[in-house]
Structure 1
């Protein structure tokens, strides 16, 4: 299965925040959209960084509550690994598992076109297994 297939099923909407948004604003966006990470972008198409709930928790622990009023750019990951729509989901699963990523932006022709979570990847694996099982059951009943 390709990453583009996941995006077709879940949609390509990506929540972004500008680098100058406060961590407090980021938390409001995470809660409002019920998500675990956002892409940091000045224009919604290019990637400046990515920031997750985990980043916030770690910085709160390191720096205290004052971090809530600091810009997202201070806590984001700026070296962002990305995937393309034509990349294989199985390879993405391996990368996300070994590198401990929970969210991977999807980029095509240098533009942000979606984001895939580890939950999306697991869901696609389950769907593939269910399809395979149905095919085997059908084959056995012939």
Structure 2
């Protein structure tokens, strides 16, 4: 019988101890950061000005395939965020009157931001507690990215798929 098929016994010289969860895998999931998500996502940022119309915002959301847009002033400073939810709520309240309005009228001016070194667990908790889905990322006073709750969940799912593959390879050999 080939050595690779030899069953391990209590008296085997090279006994290995493995487990499906280790301190390392649990810590790596808990220590994943916003920077990890941004690295895989890329740095495309889509923004508009406070004086643009909601019609322009809707067109940009559609064209870019995103769920939120950053709102920046003339100097590029972040002054708000406008999401699909903001627009839909306003459309429900004032049917037929929303598209000509200005972004400044519907945007969220109090924007929760993250640092790139904040853990994903903490960001998810903040998004869930605050009931919002998008968070701009600021480093050294500069806007460097935007993460969505979908980005964070997708990152974690990909990590779980990788961990499952590693376990399969460990079991199969």
Scaled by the length of structure 1, what TM-score is found?
A: 0.91
In the TM superposition, residue 127 of structure 1 has moved relative to its aligned partner by 1.6
Unaligned runs of 5+ in 1: none
In 2, distance between residues paired with 1:44 and 1:81?
A: 20
Name which of structure 1's ranges 13-22 and 124-133 shifts more when overlaid on structure 2. 124-133
2:161 counterpart of 1:127: no
CA RMSD of aligned residues (A): 1.6
Ranked by relative contact order (alpha carbons within 8 Å, sequence separation 6 or more), the top structure is: 1
Segments of 4+ moved more than 4 angstroms: none
Scaled by the length of structure 2, what TM-score is found?
A: 0.76
Please, which of 56, 61, 68 is the counterpart of residue 92 of structure 2?
Answer: 61
Answer with 1 or 2: which has the greater Rg: 2
In the TM superposition, residue 40 of structure 1 has moved relative to its aligned partner by 0.5
Match of 1:96 in 2: 127
SS in 2 for 1:48: strand
Unaligned runs of 5+ in 2: 1-31
Which string of whole-angstrom CA distances, capped at 9 and with x for unpartnered residues, describes residues 12-57 of structure 1?
A: 1110000000001100110110111101112574210001111011
SS in 1 for 2:137: strand
Aligned length: 142
Higher helix share: 1
In the TM superposition, residue 119 of structure 1 has moved relative to its aligned partner by 1.2
Please, which of 39, 47, 64 is the counterpart of residue 70 of structure 2?
Answer: 39
